[in-house]
Structure 1
Amino acid sequence: MADTLTSQTLPKTSATLTVRIIKSFTYRTEKSLVLHDVNLVETTVGQLKERAGQAVQTQPGWKPYKNVQLDTMKLYTKAHGAKTQNLIINLDHDDWILSDEQMTLEDLGFENETEVSFFNRADYDAFKQNPETSWAC
């Protein structure tokens, strides 16, 4: 068991995912939402969006994020995988954008401890054109 990766310790029917809710790309404002007991076999991209959006609207601590029009998810990293140099989102691999809302997370290769970004697509496209970050004063 000592050689088992953490991405393989839980069954695909009870995975833990981290959803990086992005408010601002420019100011690198994001908050992580940890979802437990996600059934990767049955959960679709659309259902994951709904679950994360519902958490932002109803759980305490999310008030600054409630007005963000979250509409797009993109794979950030899988457990034990390489992470991007950009601290807010990986700007390469647009093929990692989860555009088919009917696909199951298992079909997309999700594992326990996968991280996904949830953001506004128009904001992402604008940031990609000019990936400058700022610091609030």
Structure 2
Amino acid sequence: MIVTIRLIRNFEYRTIRTVPIRDVDTQQTVDQFIARLLQEVKSVKGIPPPFKTHPYDTLKISHQAGSFKANDIVINLEGDETLILPGNKTLEECGVVSETEMSFFNLAEYQKYKLNPEKKW
């Protein structure tokens, strides 16, 4: 299975990079997948160093094949209860299927952005 990960380094300035992840096992837990992502992000060529060292800790489903996309180009601010993936559940239990697009970000930064979703240049 292949999923697309949107690395969000900064919400206000829209610093985002997209990385396809192959051979995803839906039976692994979200925490195990996050550990894998942290290792893979460090080794992906073409990603600037600030993206490789950012303190990512949260995954949120952004888009699934055949469904709608959010209007906000950074992240969908709605549906946190169901779209933020809990670490103790498997990817399958969270509804992750092939071609799912997920945002990978720092939760504290997201919560701060959500209070005042201002975009800067």
* Stretches of structure 1 lacking an aligned partner (at least 5 in a row): 1-14
Deviation at 1:32, TM superposition (A): 0.8
Structure 2 unmatched ranges of 5 or more: none
1:45 to 18, 26, 30: 30
- Give the alignment's TM-score, normalised by structure 1: 0.82
Deviations 1:43-94 (A, max 9, x none): 2101211111111122222312123110111111111111100001100011
- Once the two structures are aligned, what percentage of the paired residues are identical? 39
Contact 2:9–2:16 (CA under 8 A) maintained in structure 1: yes
Q: Which residue of 1 aligns with 2:85?
A: 98
Match of 1:113 among 70, 92, 99: 99
Q: Tell me, in whole angstroms, the C-alpha distance in 2 between the residues paired with 1:68 and 1:27.
A: 15
Count of paired positions:
119
Query: What letter matches 2:117 in structure 1?
Result: P
TM-score by length of 2: 0.92
Q: Distance in 1 between matches of 2:19 and 2:62?
A: 13
Q: Is 2:64 aligned against 1:78?
A: yes
The answer (yes or no) to whether the contact 2:62–2:103 under 8 Å persists in 1 is yes
What's 1:5 paired with? none
Cα RMSD for the two superposed structures = 1.1
Moved beyond 4 Å, runs of 4+: none
> Residue in 2 aligned with 1:59?
44
CA contact (8 A) 1:33 1:52 kept: no
